[in-house]
Every structure is written in structure tokens, then in C-alpha cells.
Amino acid sequence: MSATIADVTRRIAAGEVTAEGLVDDAFARIGTIDPHLGAFLALDERGARQTARAIDKARSANEPLGPLAGVPIALKDNLVTKDLATTAGSRILEGWLPPYDAHVVEKLRAAGAIIIGKTNLDEFGMGSSTERSAFKPTKNPWDLSLVPGGSSGGSAAAVAANLCVASLGTDTGGSIRQPASFCGVVGLKPTYGRVSRWGVIAYASSLDQVGPITKTVADAAHLLQVIAGHDPRDATSLPTAVPNFAAALEAGVDGLRIGLPREYFGEGIDPGVRAALDETIEALRANGATIVDISLPHTHLALPAYYLVAPAEASSNLARYDGVRFGKRVEGVDLLDMYKRSRGAGFGPEVKRRIMLGTYALRAGYYDAYYKRAQQVRALIKRDFDEAFTRCDVIFTPVAPTPAFAFGAKANPVDMYLADVFTLSCNLAGLPGLSVPCGFTKAGLPVGAQLLGKPLDEATLLRTGAAIERWADITETPPGVATLEPKPDQGTQPS
């Protein structure tokens, strides 16, 4: 599965490989590697093989093939899938078989993608390490003693370990971009409203967005092309045309204005991360970009604002898990006791923490002091970006202050929250954001550069990211997974 989307679709169309053969290879590799990695929560071997056979039959009959025909794709387990277990990484949804597909899943299937399974995540997307899944942790393919990031850690690890060609994640405060950086892959958070959230298990509805995690920037553009577009079932879906995202990938950065916000380059950045970013900035300058110093003065307020807005919306969204309609139910002496027992047994510690924080912020007498004030700060952060984009086309920042960290290194919740300090503002402002690999630390861990763009200007981010990708040329096999690779005498080789 080291092939890209373009590789797979070309080879299938030419008859060089079969979709069923690719699916067989994918599940064989998953069977060898994933018991040690923990990227998947559920697999759909029967459904994947049925889809693969249908694609092979269509190709043999010279019928038109979809833009993702035969491409094995994994889905974060908060994207609803018909008759395939969807848990959001939580015991409260353990074993739930949804009766419908999310909008993005419908679009993938219509494009010929092969859904191979559901990937692990921090429970309900509340975490930055995928240690907070109710079922198991996921490990980083570069070093199995380190976290893959979160909350889309399973999706990023699966792509980095070549268990699938591409995956989808969700990003509420950095949950696509940060694990992409930690795992050395590409992660794109589209503009809020660019991709439908219908069928996404909600965490914070004004912040959540679905996006691709891929091996290359071109693959991210290809996958976004399929999943983007208006959906009348989602009231926040934007009724705007979807441009050709691949059209500008080769344009380079000559003439682009790249903004460097001083608030993102202060103390606390790991020296290895800073060195990789500095080299990338110089490469941008050398290739014709103009580097512009900018300021985003309310950046220091993003973290406290986010941790009022997101928990408040989570408190409301997660109220539906009451043990009555679906999900885990623990009987009690009366209805209230049943609610308490079901939610107490079904939710993990971090989810409970955020529900309580959000409920407190929404209480009568506290709403104006906390939630309303946080929304006012959010407006100031958006205004900062609007002003900055009058002086630049793209904003360049770190994705995270550090590379991937060890399991248990951020047991203090505040330390974990700080892992997203550079990614939160993008969600609060509803902007598109891209994480693209740009180098390595001295310890050999991947570093991602974050590109932030104007609303609905994913094309410029992808153009810039593609240029960085060409210079960085990160093609190394993650060494943690390399130790788990099938040996020649085992009869299974990665595709």
C-alpha cells in the first residue's frame, strides 16, 4: 500500500493490478502489522471484497470507473458507516451498527473507493495522542514507543504504515494536522463548511471538519475533490462551487507572500522542529516567495477560548447519549439513576471532564462570563486573520511545539491541551489548514509545517504544500514499522 491514489487508479485502469488483489494485500499487511500498531478498531473484509470484485468486473467490461476506483481507504471511527461498527472510540457506542452512511462515506463509495475499516481515535475526538481511546492506544509508525498524535491518530498511523492508501479524519482543534505531523504524512483541514458534517459524530459542531490524511499533497487534493461540495442535509455546508484543486499543484511559490506570525515562533518550540521550519522558510524564499512578518495579536487567547467553546458544545452534543435510544445502557433503580449509571460507565475520564467544564460554562449566570466571552474572543481571532491576509497569501507556522512524544508524557490534561496551541486558531476562525512534512529532528522524527489560508482557498495551500513536499522529499519508510515488515519467506510483500 505504499502506492499513491494516482498510482492505484492508473494501474487498475490499465489492468496491471486488480482491486481484489490490492484488498487482499491490504488485509494481509494489516494482519501482520496492526496487532503491534493498533490503528484499526474495525475491519470490513466482506464489504471491501464485494466492492473490489464489482470494480474489477466493471473494468473488464470497459465500463467507466470512478476517480477513486479500487483505492483502499480507512475512516476515522467517528464517521458513521452503514452496518459497520461505529464507536467514536467510546464504550458508550460499543457495538453500534448505524443504519446509514455519512455524507463523505457516500461520496467515497460513489467514487469507487474501497472502505477497508475504521481507525482508532481519542474518545469522541477529545485528545491529542490517541491514548484516550476507550479500547486501546495507537502507536507511532516511526517509533512504537511514541504516540501518533490525535485525535485522528489511527488514521494518520494507518497511512504512514502503508496499511491503506489514504484515510479520512476529523479536525476540531488540530486533530488532522497534528497527527499528520507526528506521523510524517499530509493532513488537510478544509474550510469550515467545505465538506459536509452530516453523519459525523459531533464533538463541537461549530469547529468540527472532515478532511483527508494522505501520503502526498496531490493525494490530498484528489481526495478533497471527491468529498467537498454542498450538502443540503448539513445546515453549515457552504453552497459554493468546488474548484479543481489539482490544477495549481505544479505552480510553485514564486510570487506568493508567505506570512510568519511572530506569536507562533517564540519560546517553547523544540530545537529540532525550529531547525526544520527555518530550513523550509529559506527554501520558500529561495524559490521566489516573499517572506512577510505579520502579527496575530490575540493568539494567546485561542487556547482558553477553545476550551470554553468546544466543551460547551460537547456538553450539548453528548447529552443525547442517555442509555435510552441507542448505545450503552446500565439499568438503575429509576430513570435518573439509569442516566447516571449509563453515562458514568460509558464515558471516559477526559470526556467527563469536558462535559462538566462545558456544562458549567453554559449555566445560568455563567454563560455571559464564559461562553459568550469566548465567542467574542473568537471574533477577534478571526479579525486578526482577516487583517493578516491583506498582507500575505499564506501563513506559515509550526504544527506543534514538539515532535511525537512518549506515552504518558502528557498525563496532565493542561500539558495535553498545550500540544494543540498552534492549531486551535485555525478552527476558531474557520480557515483551511494543511500539515505537510518538511524535515526531521536529529532523532529522526518527522516535522510538519502548517500552512493556513484564506477561507475557501485550499488551492493555494495545496500549491505551497506541493512545493515544500518536492524540496523535503520525505520518502523514508517509518523505522518503527520497518521492524514489523513481512519477510520474503512469509510470502506477503507490501504493494
Spell out the domain ranges in the chain: 5-298+379-490
- Beta-sheet strand order (sheet of 72-76): 40-43, 114-119, 72-76, 166-170, 210-214, 186-189, 433-440, 446-453, 394-398, 257-261, 290-294
Rounded to an integer, what distance in angstroms lies between the CA atom of residue 195 and that of residue 230?
Answer: 7
Which long-range contacts link 367-373 to residues 24+ away (Cβ below 8 Å)?
Answer: 370/308, 370/312, 371/308, 371/309, 371/312, 373/308
**Stretch 306-311: mean pLDDT:** 97
What confidence score (pLDDT) does residue 476 get? Answer: 77
CB within 8 A of 375, min separation 6: which ones?
Answer: 305, 309
pLDDT per position as a tens digit, 109-151: 999 999 999 999 999 999 999 999 999 999 999 999 999 999 9
CA 286, 292, 297, 299: dihedral to nearest 10 degrees?
Answer: -30
pLDDT value at position 487?
A: 67
Catalytic residue among 129, 175, 181, 495: 175
Q: What are phi and psi of 2, to 5 degrees?
A: -75, -10
pLDDT in tens, 18-67: 999 999 999 999 999 999 999 999 999 999 999 999 999 999 999 999 99
Flag whether pLDDT at 495 surpasses 70.
Answer: no
pLDDT for the residue numbered 1: 57
pLDDT digits (tens, 9 = 90+) for 335-378: 999 999 999 999 999 999 999 999 999 998 888 999 999 999 99
pLDDT attached to residue 29: 97
- 434 pLDDT band, cuts 50/70/90, is very high
Q: Which of 264-268's residues contact partners 24+ apart within 8 Å by CB, and which partners?
A: 264/296, 264/299, 264/397, 264/398, 264/422, 265/397, 265/398, 268/401
Q: What is the mean pLDDT of residues 310-327?
A: 93
175 is catalytic: yes
Calpha distance 190→434 (Å, rounded): 8
> What per-residue confidence (pLDDT) applies to 216?
97
- Tens of pLDDT, residue by residue over 197-236, are 999 999 999 999 999 999 999 999 999 999 999 999 999 9
- Of 129, 133, 151, 342, catalytic: 151
Cβ atoms of 353 and 314 closer than 8 Å: no
Banded pLDDT at 482 (limits 50, 70, 90): confident
Task: Using the predicted structure, report yes or no on whether residue 248 has a pLDDT greater than 60.
Answer: yes
Q: What digits encode the pLDDT tens for the residues 278-300?
A: 999 999 999 999 999 999 999 99
**Alpha carbons 256 and 328: distance in angstroms, whole number:** 52
Q: How confident is the model at residue 494 (pLDDT cuts 50, 70, 90)?
A: very low
pLDDT at 485 exceeding the cut of 90: no
Query: What's the confidence (pLDDT) of residue 2?
Result: 79
Active site residue 76: yes
Question: To which CATH superfamily is domain 5-298+379-490 assigned?
Answer: Amidase signature (AS) domain (3.90.1300.10)
Let me know if 206 is a catalytic residue: no
**Which alpha helices (DSSP H) does 165-267 contain, by range?**
177-183, 217-227
Question: Are the CB atoms for 185 and 156 separated by under 8 Å?
Answer: yes
**Identity of residue 484:** L
Q: Report strand pairing: 210-214 vs 186-189.
A: antiparallel
pLDDT of residue 493: 42
The residue count for the chain: 495
Decide if pLDDT at 490 tops 70: no
Residue 489 has pLDDT above 90, yes or no: no
pLDDT digits (tens, 9 = 90+) for 390-423: 999 999 999 999 999 999 999 999 999 999 999 9
| pLDDT tens digits along 83-106 | 999 999 999 999 999 999 999 999
For residue 347, give every residue at least 6 positions away whose Cβ sits within 8 Å of its Cβ, in sequence order, or none. Answer: 90, 91, 92, 123, 318, 321, 355
Which pTM was predicted?
Answer: 0.96
pLDDT, tens only, 160-200 = 999 999 999 999 999 999 999 999 999 999 999 999 999 99
Report how far residue 254's alpha carbon sits from residue 288's, in angstroms, rounded to the nearest whole number: 4
| Per-residue confidence (pLDDT) for residue 325, from 0 to 100 | 84
